[in-house]
Amino acid sequence: MAEEAEGVPEWARRRAEELRRLIEHHSRLYYLEDAPEITDAEFDALVAELGGLESRYPALATPDSPTRRVGGGVAPTFAPVRHPVPLLSLDNATDEEALRAFDRRVRRWLGGVEVGYVVEPKIDGLSVALEYQGGRFVRGATRGDGETGEDVTANLATIAAVPAELGGPAPERLVVRGEVFMPLASFRALNERRAEEGLPLFANPRNAAAGSVRQSDPRVTASRALDCFVYQILLAEGWPPGRPAPATQWEALALLSELGFHVNDENRKAASIDEVVELCRAFEARRDELAYQVDGLVAKVDSLAQQAELGATSHSPRWAIAFKYPAEEARTRVLAIEVSVGRTGALTPLAVLEPVRLAGTTVARASLHNEDYVRQRDVRVGDWVTVVKAGEVIPQVVAVDASRRPEGVPPWEPPRTCPVCGAEAVRIEGEAARRCVNASCPAQVRERILHWASRPAMDIDGLGARRVDELLSAGLVRDVADLYRLTVAELGALPRMAEKSAQNLVAAIQRSRERPLSRLLYALGIRYVGERAAATLARHFGHIDRIRRASRDELAAVPDVGPVIAGSVASFFAQPETDRLVERLKEAGLRMDEPAAAPAAGLLAGKTFVLTGTLSIPRSQAEARIRALGGRVTGSVSRATDYLVVGSEPGSKLARARELGVTILDEAAFRALLGEGKDDRAS
């Protein structure tokens, strides 16, 4: 068989086979033998990874793939949905010449006329079809094989960018196509949280988005901060009076935006293929600045009449082409497998690579996530591997080419002792990571101090990795409480530390004493206590001593605090070392309480808003202002709605709000409520 049959690279084919074997094996253990060896989350991650591979290389999907099978709640299944119009794929162009050839084909087909284009970023996510009837969201489906997808309505309904109700007069039946994606910041935060919790990581934002949508519990999808850009009207029947059907893709995008969908504001019009080429060039340079991952651009013939004339093959439309940026993927050799130790003692294997160019940078290290990841892929020192960069800070090893493995290399063995302090490294059941058990391990201390000083924690300016290393090796600090005893004289005596920097650092440390309890709790680095849980606990208890005294049950009774967080907090504060640390921090004068929420910051706290019609500012901006003041924005009017904000050409939400007696605000009243003057926008 050809090495890359149907465009599927060999590594992907092998990995898919391997994943199917693993999923098979673990389902059997789970269902038949009732003796699972991995956690549900790890199992879900295998299925999600396979799903990701299958959506990236549709030729890999088999009808009996475990991603499509009933799995008793573990591997979710969804009802099939037949798309009213096939969701086609795109032809690719990888260079300028291919783009120009596409333009020549298009113009020849149309009889030599001039053709205008729309150029849109190609978002690397999950393609979905969203159906609206009478302006209401009735069905959402994945692309599947293009003809039939999976019904993921309940999950898609949790995404804020998928409006429950359209904002404005809409066709009686409307089916649109869009891309669900996870913004890079959410992706990184999600993986950070998962790493902290010992869960397997998502390989890239696309897998994370796909895994988040293909969930049996919509609450999981809801927790995942997904977004969705809509870019195509697949079907529209019954246009409302006074709203003509769009004649161009550009008009279609404007209409979609008016109806309340998120439409990418990077989309551009191009009058000719020269402009398309220019946009592709300009865009590539800015690619890394975007908040989401883009794998290329799509050029589309603007006129919908011309699109219809051009038609499609069974695979792809003749009126569009994807301009793909070079794959951010490279092959190189593993020189060594190192193990680093994190704040909670988690050991993380890392591949040291023969340096290779990848997406504009030289890569010499790649993440291997955890020991299971290494074991599952059987990565060994000396192996040729494929590394990809998918928006993460460090690239990752995604596959091994075992056929090129040198003879006699043994499988990699995770260390049984901490590589930094030599203490025992143990793996607790149900966790993906092995941990160093020594709380005073220098590597853990270093990471704890760095976490303490980080922006969302105590925010100590100027206390980065290099400084912390200097402080540790000079023996000036052994834990975070020591920071508060540092003097300008001590710091000034360090090599490469100017008097002024010493003063600045001491001042920055002083300022951090005033951080509220929520920050302090987060900074302590208690497992499972992220920023959100820290804020919840701080608000609920008000003072650290009340948290210290709280029982596990009292903690678990706090809304949004589950048994896992409660257990972790209780055992953290039950340790004598924690007591000593908290007492020393108190002596150092750190603030131990949470100020009552400032009313100005929460002006709209607890209030629920719905927006309809067109406002003079973009809807996303209006929503952001409401959220900034503590309010919530939802897509449809219900009894729980406090305010309906009405712009010009409001939709059916207005009538519904009147029916339910919801307070209705016009734009001026809305601005007044936000505490904004009339002229804010003009200035």
The contact set with ligand IVH (CB under 6 A) reads 88-90, 120, 122-123, 127, 143, 179, 231-232, 298, 317, 320, 322
Give yes or no for a contact between 373 and 200, defined as CB atoms under 8 angstroms apart.
yes
Q: How far is the CB of 46 from ligand IVH (least distance, A)?
A: 23
Give yes or no for a contact between 212 and 231, defined as CB atoms under 8 angstroms apart.
no
Number of H helices, E strands in the chain: 24, 22
Other beta carbons within 10 angstroms of residue 112's beta carbon come to: 8
Q: How far is the CB of 399 from ligand IVH (least distance, A)?
A: 22
- The full 3-state SS of 509-564, as one line of letters, equals HHHHCCCCHHHHHHHCCCCCCCHHHHHHHHHHHCEHHHHHHCCHHHHHCCCCCCHH
Q: How far is the CB of 68 from ligand IVH (least distance, A)?
A: 19
Active site residue 122: yes
Residue with smaller CB distance to ligand IVH, 90 or 99: 90
Residue with smaller CB distance to ligand IVH, 322 or 550: 322
Strand arrangement, sheet containing 320-324: 92-93, 320-324, 294-301, 117-123, 268-270
Residue with smaller CB distance to ligand IVH, 144 or 647: 144
Residue nearest to ligand IVH (CB): 127
Q: How far is the CB of 299 from ligand IVH (least distance, A)?
A: 10
Q: How far is the CB of 312 from ligand IVH (least distance, A)?
A: 7
Q: Which residues pair with 366 in a beta bridge?
A: 351
Q: How far is the CB of 316 from ligand IVH (least distance, A)?
A: 7
- What SS3 state is found at 465? helix
Q: How far is the CB of 117 from ligand IVH (least distance, A)?
A: 12
Distance, C-alpha 221 to centroid of its chain: 11
The Cα 169–Cα 241 span in angstroms is 9
Q: How far is the CB of 179 from ligand IVH (least distance, A)?
A: 4
Tell me the DSSP string of 468-485.
HHHHHHTTS-SSGGGGGG
Residue with smaller CB distance to ligand IVH, 318 or 331: 318
Q: Give the phi and the psi of residue 22 in degrees, each rounded to 5.
A: -65, -45
Q: Which residues pair with 386 in a beta bridge?
A: 331, 399
Residue with smaller CB distance to ligand IVH, 227 or 667: 227
Give yes or no for a contact between 204 and 293, defined as CB atoms under 8 angstroms apart.
yes
The Cα 230–Cα 125 span in angstroms is 12
Residue with smaller CB distance to ligand IVH, 318 or 515: 318
Tell me the two tokens of residue 378.
Answer: 């059987």
The Cα 41–Cα 564 span in angstroms is 15
- The full 3-state SS of 1-21, as one line of letters, equals CCCCHHHCCHHHHHHHHHHHH
- What SS3 state is found at 425? strand
Residue with smaller CB distance to ligand IVH, 93 or 441: 93
Q: How far is the CB of 398 from ligand IVH (least distance, A)?
A: 20
User: Which residue among 122, 389, 607, 653 is the active-site one?
Assistant: 122
The residues near 377 (Cβ < 8 Å, ≥ 6 apart) are: 15, 18, 397, 399, 400
Residue with smaller CB distance to ligand IVH, 320 or 458: 320
Residue with smaller CB distance to ligand IVH, 88 or 569: 88
Q: How far is the CB of 85 from ligand IVH (least distance, A)?
A: 9
Residue with smaller CB distance to ligand IVH, 247 or 655: 247
* Strand pairing category for 632-633 and 608-612: parallel
Other beta carbons within 10 angstroms of residue 157's beta carbon come to: 19
- What SS3 state is found at 340? strand
| Dihedral sign (CA 135, 137, 142, 146) | negative
Residue with smaller CB distance to ligand IVH, 171 or 296: 296
The Cα 603–Cα 675 span in angstroms is 9
Q: How far is the CB of 97 from ligand IVH (least distance, A)?
A: 20
Q: How far is the CB of 130 from ligand IVH (least distance, A)?
A: 13
Give yes or no for a contact between 36 and 28, defined as CB atoms under 8 angstroms apart.
no
| Dihedral sign (CA 8, 10, 14, 17) | positive
Tell me the two tokens of residue 489.
Answer: 């004289």
> Which of 299, 141, 313, 156 shows the shortest CA–CA distance to 234?
141
Residue with smaller CB distance to ligand IVH, 54 or 120: 120
Give yes or no for a contact between 444 and 457, defined as CB atoms under 8 angstroms apart.
no
The residues near 411 (Cβ < 8 Å, ≥ 6 apart) are: 375, 378, 380
The Cα 390–Cα 367 span in angstroms is 12
| Site of tokens 């650290």 | 544
Active site residues: 122
